[in-house]
Amino acid sequence: MGNKAQTAKPDPKEVAKEQKKVVRGAQRKLTREVTNIDRNEKKTLAEIKKMAEKGQHGPAKILSKDVARQRQQKNQYLMMGS
């Protein structure tokens, strides 16, 4: 009457393998995001130093707040990855 392929339960080893694959992919994605945030933070810090040397303290202050947000975001990603 019914098709065995539709009623059969998936193999637990296959399910575990698929879940492990998804977790590894998510961890790699988080690692890439953290790397990108680090790269952007370094660029922003260099830009802040240039602005401070020119005496543009207002925009430098705004960028420094952006760096603080980036660091918080990086910490959140690191917490998600652990």
**Position 12 pLDDT exceeds 60:** yes
**Position 10 pLDDT exceeds 60:** yes
The one-letter amino acid at 28: R
Number of domains comprising the chain:
1
Domain for residue 2, yes or no? no
Domain for residue 61, yes or no? yes
Residue predicted with more confidence, 7 or 19: 19
Range of the domain at 30: 19-81
Domain for residue 63, yes or no? yes
Domain for residue 31, yes or no? yes
Helix axes 57-81, 12-54, angle to 10 degrees: 160
Domain for residue 7, yes or no? no
pLDDT tens readout for residues 66-77: 999 999 999 999
**Position 45 pLDDT exceeds 70:** yes
Domain for residue 9, yes or no? no
Angle among Cα 21, 10, 1 to the nearest 5 degrees reads: 150
Q: How far apart are CA 8 and CA 73, in angstroms?
A: 44
